[in-house]
Structure 1
Amino acid sequence: MKLETLFTHFENSIDSESLNSVKQRLNKLTPPEIALQIESTPSKFRKILWSLVDSKLSGLALHDLSDEIQNEILEDMDASSVALLTEGLDIDDVVDILQHIPEKMIPAVLDRMSGQDRYRIEKVLTYPENTAGGLMDPNVITVRPDITVKLVLRYLRRFDNIPNNFDNIFVVDRSDKFIGILPINTLLTSSATKMVYQLMEDNCQIIDVNASDSEVAETFKLFNLVTAPVVDNDSYLLGQIMIDDVVDVIIDEADHSLFAMAGLQDSEDTFLSVKKTAPKRSLWLGLNLITAIIASSAIGIFQDAIEELVALAVLMPIVASMGGVAGSQTLTVVVRGMALGQIEKQNVRWLFSKEFAVGILNGLCFSLVTGILVSIWFENFMLAVIVGSAMIINLTAAALSGTLVPIILKRIRVDPAVAGSVILTTITDVVGFVSFLGLSALLLI
């Protein structure tokens, strides 16, 4: 069902206090579609819409909602309601939901679960949310290496439910230490008399339980994994991570980078109320005001020169703007390289040299183009030379700053995706204004 169709129908039903038709339409959707409908609804209507979701769909739908909206819905629930909501969900999905309720409520929710589920959930909750341990699902299918394919197949038939992304059986010894994997395609195409140890792969990728979620995502991407075993320092198998959880991590990281570049908090709710949205954006707007004042102060130094030659006021935004764009290009490339683990101490010097050369080359090219245009426009050859020279200086400074700023920020444990653009814009504005106006004051006035 199209979003606009249901939303319009929903608004009309709210006004007429008749919600039965909306409820029927809503519960014909899949959980991800229900989540999209709720996220696309103004915040004042969300709890009403949520109350219409069928209990059989609510757990999966809640899991697909953004963190902020999950918190909004869960804040009104008691322990019994949360426990009911998690029935039938995978362990890792239950953990995701429990991480959004008050910590003091978690024991009460766990008390309402079966003993086995409670033990597994408690084990996952002991690990930080942004680690492999916090991502993993402790429900795994394991076999010993000294049994036949026939016995493995018989064992699998005993399960009522097997995960959708199930592609490997994990092989462990009698102490539950991880030995290797038995791919399902190998199992299904092998002789029934073959032994597991003859078919298993022992040279496979494993995930340390304390690895960060970013490292997990990078491993999955690098080796094209669908599932991966999670082990501790002693190689005991603790659980598995599946590709759907890794996709969530990748999306969260992409959202973080996108919002950070604009100085916004992670996953800002599109339809959040004005009262809550304005304060969230004020911090970086305030910081930007400070940096803008710094850049304006650089212009103020050359106020007399600008008053004497109006052309300077016309041309100086060009120099600053070109530097800002060039710096943003470099910053984006470097931040992405750092996120992917491509930038290390060994190659920083080469990267610095490369961006320096790119800055000079682009500076020369665009200074020539700009100089020709300025000489035609203002019929002033010296002004054209000054604009071109300032362009070279600022584009070179932008390339160097775009490389160094994120590296320095990372070393002092500040997220370069968050602070990098603000600092870089200040640098390129100040360098652009000072170089252009300074050269003009020296050579023209």
Structure 2
Amino acid sequence: MAEQKEFDQAHLTLQEVTEAIDNGRFVHVRRQLQDMEPEDIAHLLEASPRRSRDVLWQLTDPEDYGEILDELSEDVKDSLVSKMAPQDLAEATEGMETDDVAYVLRSLPDSVSKQVLEQMDLEDRLRVETALSYPEDSAGGLMNTDVITIRADVDVDVVLRYLRIKGEVPTNTDAIYVVDSESRLIGELPFTTLLTTQPDVQVSEVMEDADDAILVTTSDNEVASLFERRNWLSAPVIDENQQLVGRITIDDVVDVIREDAEHSMMSMAGMDDDEDTFAPVVKSARKRSIWLGANVLAALAAASVSNLFEATLSQMAAIAVLMTIVPSMGGVAGNQTVALVIRGLALGHIGDANKRELLLKEAAVGLLNGITWALIIGGIVVLWKGNWLLGGIISAAMLTNLLVAGIAGVTIPIMLKKMKIDPALAGGMALTTVTDVIGLSVFLGLATLLIR
């Protein structure tokens, strides 16, 4: 009930704000925005059509810009940032974590990014430039350079006094990192240990090994997998010289997991995971036309098979009625396997050592399902049409296509990944093309040879 109430309130807020803008009650909208949290304003911006969104952004307190930008999807963020002056953008990024600032700047033209960096103070600029020097999809691009470091030869009391003088710690800090004179990571001191240890104890006696250190070049997907398996809240990031360069926190990893999930879901429909719900019509149409064009080619391939057997189709109406069943069943079965393999690839469960076993397993599943559904569909056709030969033909085609679907469902995603093509984007379409062509070819080919 509480979740439903919160859901209704969110929609009422959107409706009220939209009506207020339409009626020109901008002062009322500004007051509403001042009472809302940055993440709620971000949700409101993403849910608003572009005309209302521009008005809302102008009515929002500039002091909240940074936190709001941090919560927005990439496409919406880009549309707002592109209209901001470099000085305003630099002010908006004050207080944002380094990795989030780098994320915003990467979406800007180089000339604009340079202007924004020039508006920052020296310390912030150096931190952001360090983050920008690493690939976006690596631990270096994901990390935050704001870390607390101490030496191993000091007492716990010294550390506590240092923290009190500092007055604050970075968000999601659960440990302090211990480094040597050359900034090499040698251990970490969890806050729980720090708070429960006698003040006169030396850090070197209670610090833990930094077993959770992540190399700066590690991919963001591997980082997310490590956090998931080991239940980390944060982890230090080191370079090839073992020097501490930053840290990654759980909130950054949640973003990676969410983006990967959105990417997989949207890619299956041939769309960008960051596409704005209210993007301009021409822009949306242009993006989707590419995928539609690819699907047309796949559909034409299947249609060309039917065209080869036009004479057979014209002679027997029953074949034309039943011809869609075989490719349809193959497509469903194959896409189930594709989804399983894509998930396995994403989680790192599938590699050269076990892909053969997976192929044999899915081939066996396809064979078992093929036999089962061949008997069921064949029996239905015999009862329906009273034709044993036609029932046998569709049974043979069903068995063949489900077996092929199982094999193709494994091999296609693995091959696409090796070719550096996103399996989530192209795997389903490639699989459907294969099952359509094979299913129609076997069914219509056998019908042509056996039915006179």
TM-score by length of 1: 0.97
Which residue of 369, 374, 377 maps to 2:381? Answer: 374
Residue pairs, 1:23-422, within 5 angstroms: 23-422=30-429
Task: Verify the 8 A CA contact 1:218 1:340 in the aligned structure 2.
Answer: yes
Q: Distance in 2 between matches of 1:286 and 1:112?
A: 45
Amino acid corresponding to residue 251 of structure 2 in structure 1: D
Q: Distance in 1 between matches of 2:36 and 2:21?
A: 20
Q: CA RMSD in A?
A: 1.4
Q: Distance in 2 between matches of 1:354 and 1:107?
A: 54
Range with greater deviation from structure 2 (60-69 or 91-100): 91-100
Residue 111 of structure 1: SS of its match in structure 2? Answer: helix
Q: Distance in 2 between matches of 1:122 and 1:293?
A: 50
Task: Verify the 8 A CA contact 2:143 2:248 in the aligned structure 1.
Answer: yes
Q: Distance in 1 between matches of 2:419 and 2:99?
A: 33
Task: Verify the 8 A CA contact 2:147 2:170 in the aligned structure 1.
Answer: no
Task: Verify the 8 A CA contact 1:6 1:22 in the aligned structure 2.
Answer: no
Amino acid corresponding to residue 46 of structure 1 in structure 2: R
Q: Distance in 2 between matches of 1:112 and 1:270?
A: 32
Q: Distance in 1 between matches of 2:416 and 2:323?
A: 29
1:435 matches 2:435: no
Structure 2 CA distance for partners of 1:118 and 1:203, relative to 1, 3 Å: closer
Residue 295 of structure 1 and its aligned partner are, at CA, apart by: 0.1
Q: Distance in 2 between matches of 1:308 and 1:221?
A: 60
Q: Distance in 1 between matches of 2:292 and 2:254?
A: 32
Structure 2: segments with no counterpart, 5+ residues: 1-5
1:19 matches 2:12: no
Residue 157 of structure 1: SS of its match in structure 2? Answer: helix
Amino acid corresponding to residue 409 of structure 1 in structure 2: L
Residue 202 of structure 1 and its aligned partner are, at CA, apart by: 1.1
TM-score by length of 2: 0.95
Residue 104 of structure 2: SS of its match in structure 1? Answer: helix
Deviations along 1:294-315, one digit per CA (max 9) or x if unpaired, are: 1011111111111211111111
Task: Verify the 8 A CA contact 2:21 2:29 in the aligned structure 1.
Answer: no
Q: Distance in 2 between matches of 1:431 and 1:172?
A: 62
Q: Distance in 2 between matches of 1:72 and 1:203?
A: 41
Q: Distance in 2 between matches of 1:295 and 1:381?
A: 27
Range with greater deviation from structure 2 (425-434 or 101-110): 101-110
Amino acid corresponding to residue 241 of structure 2 in structure 1: D
Q: Distance in 1 between matches of 2:434 and 2:245?
A: 49
Residue 170 of structure 1: SS of its match in structure 2? Answer: strand
Residue 169 of structure 1: SS of its match in structure 2? Answer: strand
Residue 59 of structure 2: SS of its match in structure 1? Answer: coil
Range with greater deviation from structure 2 (228-237 or 12-21): 12-21
Task: Verify the 8 A CA contact 1:208 1:232 in the aligned structure 2.
Answer: yes
Residue 48 of structure 2: SS of its match in structure 1? Answer: coil
Residue 240 of structure 1 and its aligned partner are, at CA, apart by: 0.5
Residue 203 of structure 1 and its aligned partner are, at CA, apart by: 5.0
Task: Verify the 8 A CA contact 2:186 2:210 in the aligned structure 1.
Answer: no
Task: Verify the 8 A CA contact 2:146 2:170 in the aligned structure 1.
Answer: no
Q: Distance in 1 between matches of 2:421 and 2:102?
A: 29
Task: Verify the 8 A CA contact 1:10 1:19 in the aligned structure 2.
Answer: no
Q: Distance in 2 between matches of 1:108 and 1:275?
A: 30
Task: Verify the 8 A CA contact 1:181 1:204 in the aligned structure 2.
Answer: no
Q: Distance in 2 between matches of 1:307 and 1:299?
A: 11
1:10 matches 2:50: no
Task: Verify the 8 A CA contact 2:185 2:210 in the aligned structure 1.
Answer: no
Residue 323 of structure 2: SS of its match in structure 1? Answer: helix
Q: Distance in 2 between matches of 1:442 and 1:407?
A: 36
Count of aligned pairs between the two proteins = 445
Q: Distance in 1 between matches of 2:85 and 2:21?
A: 26
1:425: which partner in 2?
432
Q: Distance in 2 between matches of 1:48 and 1:278?
A: 25
Q: Percent identity?
A: 43
Residue 182 of structure 1: SS of its match in structure 2? Answer: strand
